[in-house]
């Protein structure tokens, strides 16, 4: 069964405390992406990766880092989270055109 796994699903943290949201896929897609969803703003792309060791910025990359050391995993790193990074985050592996979203991670930064 095709699966996209994100961990954690819910996280409440404090400003400045580094955190990592993991994403794993079993669909063997070369392409993976991270989005955040905010009310009234829809889905905005943070970073994407076209293959192992190849990443590029999306529309809102500030305050985030990513790495792609293996095909199945694409972690999102917040080195020093701030309250404006409170959001719903989605990982999305897929092709260059069609992407398949994970279940989401609800992050709250206080």
Partner 1 sequence: DQQVKQNSPSLSVQEGRISILNCDYTNSMFDYFLWYKKYPAEGPTFLISISSIKDKNEDGRFTVFLNKSAKHLSLHIVPSQPGDSAVYFCAANAGGTSYGKLTFGQGTILTVHP
Instruction: Report how many residues bind partner 1 under the rule CB under 8 A.
Output: 26
Between 9 and 17, CB nearer to partner 1: 9
**Encoding tokens for residue 46?**
């943070």
Between 53 and 59, CB nearer to partner 1: 59
Query: Is residue 27 at the binding interface for partner 1, with CB under 8 A as the rule?
Result: no
Query: Is residue 99 at the binding interface for partner 1, with CB under 8 A as the rule?
Result: yes
Opening angle at CA 81, ends 92 and 71, nearest 5: 30
Between 82 and 95, CB nearer to partner 1: 95
User: Using CB under 8 A, which of 21, 25, 66, 102 touches partner 1?
Assistant: 102
For residues 25 and 33, what is the distance between their CA atoms, to the nearest angstrom? Answer: 11
**Encoding tokens for residue 5?**
């796994």
Q: Which of 64, 18, 29 is nearest to 45 (CA)?
A: 64
Site of tokens 């609800």? 106
Question: Rule CB under 8 A: which residues touch partner 1?
Answer: 4, 31, 33, 35, 40-45, 48, 50, 56, 58-59, 90, 92, 96-104
């Amino acid at each position: 069964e095709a699966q996209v796994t994100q961990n954690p699903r819910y996280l409440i943290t404090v400003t400045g405390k580094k955190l990592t949201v993991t994403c794993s896929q079993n669909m063997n897609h070369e392409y993976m992406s991270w989005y955040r969803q905010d009310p009234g703003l829809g889905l905005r792309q943070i970073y994407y990766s076209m293959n192992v060791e190849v990443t590029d910025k999306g529309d809102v990359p500030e305050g985030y880092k990513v790495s792609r050391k293996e095909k199945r995993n694409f972690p999102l790193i917040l080195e020093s989270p701030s309250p404006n990074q409170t959001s719903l985050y989605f990982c999305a592996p897929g092709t260059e055109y069609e992407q398949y979203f994970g279940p989401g991670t609800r992050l709250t930064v206080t």
